[in-house]
């Protein structure tokens, strides 16, 4: 069994623990929260017993567990992942794992030096429906002529932002905004399916807090462009599309993909059967467990390369738009 510690007590942690339970390989043993009551409430919701609680991060990392899952605000990922790796823990860190490519390289080096795993939890690329998209792109790669992805969802926290509160996800302190929160999924789409682009350009619609509420991202490849629309301040129902000359693969969403269709030149649209698990984190949890238990270095290296490329693109994109994070000052 892989003993698991967690940081962060929001709903996403609960969802991830339920996914790790499905693997029968992970066992939750340790919880860190700034408040004991929140840790206790999460443990109770999950119906777990004999879980160790820490409210001090240094004490938490001294405890005896193998792997930590970090689901704190983005701006805290780097320092917490670094501390974990320095204390001999494998790291599964929520997307995006870092605020700058320099931070990513430091974590990557540290994990390598200490013989530990560093996973970025990009859940959707592990799902069967994404594997189906990869299969279709590979089969039709000669005809590939571009893509457009859209992931624009009105955030429940935008109301709090408009009310003058300061939710983490709309701050530069915690490396928030549409690109880092939702754009990261669509950048993963492009990197996994098409590789590294030659040029990155992001046009952001700024909020007064300094982050992007929404924006348009262009990734230029030698033979085609990928156009991406992302946002947290409005809802879009546009489908995402991958173009193969006369034919088109339609995705119902760029980041939370649950349905695929194939459209031909005669406007015949046919359903592409693909599996979608109820818990979208099941696939990544079982894949991380498999890689660690089977020591599948080739797949691990591939995932790390994706994560490095994605984190580089995110930084290039926000730099091109003029988005500055507090983490940039520490460069």
Ligand X SMILES: NC(=O)c1ccc[n+]([C@@H]2O[C@H](COP(=O)([O-])OP(=O)(O)OC[C@H]3O[C@@H](n4cnc5c(N)ncnc54)[C@H](OP(=O)(O)O)[C@@H]3O)[C@@H](O)[C@H]2O)c1
Q: Which positions lie near ligand X, rule CB under 6 A?
A: 8-10, 12, 33-35, 38, 71-74, 76, 94-95, 121, 123, 168, 181
168: which DSSP letter? G
Least distance (Å) from ligand X to the CB of residue 264?
Answer: 33
Q: Which residue, 9 or 240, is less far from ligand X as judged by CB?
A: 9
How is residue 51 written in tokens? 């879980």
C-alpha of 190 from chain center: 13
Least distance (Å) from ligand X to the CB of residue 192?
Answer: 16
Least distance (Å) from ligand X to the CB of residue 239?
Answer: 20
Q: Which residue, 73 or 146, is less far from ligand X as judged by CB?
A: 73
Least distance (Å) from ligand X to the CB of residue 302?
Answer: 19
Task: Write the DSSP assignment of 181-238 as a string of letters.
Answer: IIIHHHHHHHHHHH---SEEEEEEEE-TTSSEEEEEEEEE-SS-EEEEEEESSS---P
Least distance (Å) from ligand X to the CB of residue 96?
Answer: 7
Least distance (Å) from ligand X to the CB of residue 220?
Answer: 26
CA distances from 11 to 18, 68, 125 (A): 11, 17, 21
Least distance (Å) from ligand X to the CB of residue 268?
Answer: 34
> Quick check: 149 and 187 in contact, CB under 8 A?
no
Q: Which residue, 62 or 199, is less far from ligand X as judged by CB?
A: 62
Q: Which residue, 94 or 108, is less far from ligand X as judged by CB?
A: 94
3-class state of residue 30 by DSSP: strand
* Among 297, 274, 316, 40, residue whose Cα is nearest residue 136: 274
Least distance (Å) from ligand X to the CB of residue 194?
Answer: 22
Question: What dihedral do alpha carbons 47, 83, 287, 262 form, nearest 10°?
Answer: 100
Which residues are CB-neighbours of 247 under 8 A, at least 6 positions away? 140, 143, 262, 263, 264, 265
How is residue 197 written in tokens? 């682009």
How is residue 180 written in tokens? 């880092």
Least distance (Å) from ligand X to the CB of residue 77?
Answer: 6
Residue with tokens 């995402």: 240
> Quick check: 215 and 205 in contact, CB under 8 A?
yes
CA distances from 125 to 133, 172, 184 (A): 10, 27, 11
Q: Which residue, 240 or 248, is less far from ligand X as judged by CB?
A: 240
Q: Which residue, 144 or 313, is less far from ligand X as judged by CB?
A: 313
CA dist., res. 226 & res. 55, Å (int): 44
Q: Which residue, 183 or 197, is less far from ligand X as judged by CB?
A: 183
Q: Which residue, 116 or 285, is less far from ligand X as judged by CB?
A: 285
Q: Which residue, 73 or 210, is less far from ligand X as judged by CB?
A: 73
């Amino acid at each position: 069994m892989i003993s698991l510690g967690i940081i962060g007590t929001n709903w996403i942690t609960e969802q991830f623990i339920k996914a790790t339970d499905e693997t029968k390989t992970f066992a939750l043993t340790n919880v860190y929260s700034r408040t004991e009551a929140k840790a206790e409430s999460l443990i109770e919701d999950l119906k777990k017993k004999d879980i160790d609680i820490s409210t001090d991060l240094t004490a938490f990392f001294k405890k005896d567990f193998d792997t930590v899952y970090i689901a704190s605000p983005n701006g805290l990922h780097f320092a917490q992942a670094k501390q974990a790796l320095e204390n001999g823990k494998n790291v599964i860190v929520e997307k995006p794992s870092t605020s700058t490519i320099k931070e990513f390289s430091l974590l990557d080096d540290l994990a390598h030096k200490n013989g530990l795993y560093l996973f970025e939890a990009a859940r959707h690329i592990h799902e069967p429906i994404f594997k189906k998209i990869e299969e279709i792109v590979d089969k039709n790669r000669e005809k590939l002529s571009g893509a457009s992805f859209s992931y624009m969802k009105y955030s429940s926290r935008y109301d709090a932002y408009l009310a003058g509160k300061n939710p983490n996800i709309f701050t530069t302190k915690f490396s928030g905004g549409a690109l880092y929160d939702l754009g990261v999924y669509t950048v993963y789409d492009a990197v996994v399916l098409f590789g590294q682009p030659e040029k990155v350009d992001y046009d952001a619609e700024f909020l007064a807090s300094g982050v992007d509420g929404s924006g348009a991202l262009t990734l230029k490849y030698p033979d085609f462009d990928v156009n991406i629309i992302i946002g947290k301040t409005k809802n879009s129902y546009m489908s995402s599309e991958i173009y193969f000359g006369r034919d088109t693969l339609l995705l119902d969403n760029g980041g939370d993909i649950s349905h695929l269709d194939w459209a031909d030149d005669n406007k015949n649209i046919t359903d592409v059967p693909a599996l979608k698990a109820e818990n979208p984190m099941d696939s990544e949890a079982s894949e991380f467990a498999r890689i660690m238990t089977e020591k599948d270095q080739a797949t691990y290296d591939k995932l790390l390369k994706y994560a490095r490329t994605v984190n580089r693109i995110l930084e290039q994109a926000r730099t091109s738009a003029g988005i500055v994070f507090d983490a940039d000052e520490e460069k």
